[in-house]
Amino acid sequence: MVTKRLELKDKQPEVFEILEHIDNQNHFLLSGGAGSGKTYSLVSIIRQILDEQPTAQIACITYTNAAVKEIEERVNHKKLKVSTIHDFLWDCIKNFQNELKKCIIDLAKEESVTSFQLENPDISIFEGKDIEYKEFVSLTEGNISHNELLTLANYMFANYSKLCDSINDKFNFIFVDEYQDTDRQVVEILLDHLSRSKKTNKTIIGFFGDTMQSIYDEGIGNLDEYLKKEDTKLKKVIKAENRRNPQKVIDLANKLRTDDVIQKPSKDVKAPNMLVDESAKEGNVLFLHSTNSDLPKLKKYLSNLDIKWNFDDSKNTKELNLTHNLIASQANFSTLMSIYDKDKFIEHLSKVRKYLKIRQVDFDDNTTVNQVFTQIAKNVKEEIDSKSLSHFTVLKYLEKLRTLHPSQNESLSDLIQKLKPIKEDKIEPSKKYLINEFKNDTGIIEIDYVYDIKILKDVEKLDEEIYKPVKDEPFIKYKNLYVVKDHLVDDKKESEDEENKKGSKRDNLIKHLFKIQHTLLYYENKNFSEFFRIIKKNERKINSIEEKRKLKDDIEKLLKNKTTTIGEVIDIADELRIVIKNDKPLNDFIKSSEYIYNRVREVSYQEFINLYNYLEGFTPYSTQHKTKGSEYDNVLIVLDNGNWAKYNFKYLFENTKDKEDIIERTQKLFYVCCTRAKENLAVYYIKPSEKVLETAKEWFGDSIINLDES
């Protein structure tokens, strides 16, 4: 074993260094850039520990189910427990039912913890009930969901030392993969609360990840505050090698990094980015731009440049856009996206709900949708025309409010629009009093309301075709109707069998359609055993060759008819017993969201097939966030902000002053996207300024192409 560890000193120096820290009872952080093989190091450390300490118990927690599978496939050992962060924490606390109930009530009494709201917080509501972790929250029923679990676990570990003792007893090691995506509360549990355990032998915590790849809002990003503590037991280890990217991509990535990790090609000739002569692949990096957006011309240019740029090959070539909306038109599911993201009736409902809440107004059960909308529109007009809201004493606060978002010569409406996305927890403490003064003197509880009220005036502008069927129906039927695009495009699942996994945001209508398309594909791909298993399960009996032939004709007719609507496919799938319509999840959806159901039914089923192919990875399109963790031979990055205020590629390339947060967020996402490329990288910018081109020259050298001149 000693000999084996010494061999690691040359072959995997970062693993050897970490094992030395473990010997000294220190926690550790392995920091490595994209493509460095951090998971490979993680697996090596686990294997070495199991060799040296056969009785050691190891927990490995990670962000996704895909990562869980990957680690389990590489190390299958009874002493190793691999799970997602949420599943791990639930396993830690689920048997402490009395403490669980008390903590939920305690949290419900804290006004700042909004996710634990209960009208009358009292532990008696849990009599005869166990607290359970489910897909949807219902505190009165004893059910917590994905969102409440982390807060609850952190609160319990902070308040019950016996819980910390039990973890120190159970595990010798806890390793966190992709730590930068981990919620701060998880880090507090592992580094703050567990360390206060009275147990002599404390669990050693290991973190694996890369701060430059922290692209999710809920992630802690980095562990600098722990590394800087004088008495820290957390030791940092850097893994500098890169096993994925060619040299030109590595050079670009190093220019984008803002920490102390400088990558270099792997010394391992078996690494994917190495050649037989032990040198790294050179690769290609291009910055392309044009005056107007012309993706077809861009793709043609790349395809003519190198035959490897094949946009029909979705496995090896990917086009990365910032948002699903930017992809919807190219991938041809725009109508579905417009229903789930831009439906004017639902947008109005959202504003109406806000108005009713703020003004504490309600209507009786017989009031129609049109009556509610019309009355509120009238009220809003009167409020705007009144002195209190036309001036609403904001003039005297205008200059003060500007200090929250400094700018010159802005109108009131422009100012309010910019104030809208500012979250109160992001405002400097010294300036928070301005918000309170604003609320007290104007009577306006939410700044959003000032900007949004103008939308309520546009009742007459609602699409008549959409609005007419519902305008005379009871408002109460639609009062709580809402939809977000994640209900359509969320892809938190690893296989068809995991469609209902905790954390999936797909609604039950989209899940139903996925079941239909999965089953049709079994038939189309000639996986008849699986196809007939499903229809047999749905009680469709095939008693003769004639019945089998008729089923074949019906399905092939369905597959070939490109004009069939989603509603028709749902009905036919039910008739053929492919996926039955009388299904509780679908019925629940229709009951709560009939408006959405009826709108989606009218859309072409081909649009859903396009959406299905996109979400299943059968197209060359991907969002820039989704591609994290993946790698492709050829990567095209389209630098379009897509109206997402959190990101701005112009700010990044121009290094705009006072936009540091947006620049940092955008730079990390850009870094992640660039480092997906194993062979060729192309970056496309529309209408760049001179300053943008200067930065492009600095980052890309002479590899800058003006498509207008090609």
Read off the pLDDT of residues 172-229 as tens digits, 9 standing for 90 and up.
Answer: 999 999 999 999 999 999 999 998 888 878 899 999 999 999 998 888 999 999 999 9
In the prediction, which pLDDT does 500 show? 39
Of 292-301, 344-353, 686-695, the range with the lowest mean pLDDT is 344-353
**How large is the average pLDDT for residues 289-306?**
94
Predicted confidence (pLDDT) at residue 652 exceeds the cutoff of 90: yes
In the prediction, which pLDDT does 175 show? 97
CA distances from 406 to 397, 418, 653 (A): 14, 10, 22
Predicted confidence (pLDDT) at residue 708 exceeds the cutoff of 50: yes
In our burial notation (b when 16+ CB lie closer than 10 A, e otherwise), range 372-381 reads bbeebbeebe
What is the percent of the chain with per-residue pLDDT over 70, rounded to a whole number?
87
Q: Which of 200, 116, 204 shows the shortest CA–CA distance to 153?
A: 116
Q: Which of 75, 115, 554, 614 shows the shortest CA–CA distance to 329?
A: 614
Amino acid at 578: I
Q: Are the CB atoms for 215 and 629 separated by under 8 Å?
A: no
Q: Which residues are annotated as a binding site?
A: 32-39
Q: Which residues are annotated as a binding site for ATP?
A: 32-39
In the prediction, which pLDDT does 494 show? 38
Q: Which of 390, 415, 420, 413 shows the shortest CA–CA distance to 402?
A: 415
Amino acid at 464: E
In the prediction, which pLDDT does 393 show? 46
Tens-place pLDDT, residues 559-618: 887 789 999 999 999 988 888 998 899 999 999 999 999 999 999 999 999 999 999 989
Q: How far apart are CA 101 and CA 79, in angstroms?
A: 31
Which two structure tokens, joined as six digits, stand for 249?
């991509």
How sure is the predictor about 24, in pLDDT bands with cuts at 50, 70 and 90?
Answer: very high
How sure is the predictor about 454, in pLDDT bands with cuts at 50, 70 and 90?
Answer: low
Of 143-157, 290-304, 332-346, 462-476, the range with the lowest mean pLDDT is 462-476
Cα Rg of the chain, angstroms: 28
**How large is the average pLDDT for residues 487-513?**
69
In the prediction, which pLDDT does 52 show? 93
**How large is the average pLDDT for residues 492-498?**
43
**How large is the average pLDDT for residues 147-167?**
94
In the prediction, which pLDDT does 663 show? 94
Please list the alpha-helical segments (H only) found in 194-285: 224-227, 247-256
pTM score, two decimals? 0.84
In this structure, the number of other CB atoms found within 10 A of the CB of residue 445 comes to: 12
Q: How far apart are CA 96 and CA 84, in angstroms?
A: 20
Q: Are the CB atoms for 461 and 412 separated by under 8 Å?
A: no
In the prediction, which pLDDT does 435 show? 59
| Mean model confidence pLDDT for the chain | 86
Predicted confidence (pLDDT) at residue 256 exceeds the cutoff of 60: yes
CA distances from 77 to 5, 15, 82, 550, 654 (A): 20, 20, 10, 51, 51
Tens-place pLDDT, residues 400-443: 555 555 444 555 455 555 444 445 555 555 555 655 665 665 55
**How large is the average pLDDT for residues 645-674?**
94
Tens-place pLDDT, residues 42-70: 999 999 999 999 999 999 999 778 788 88
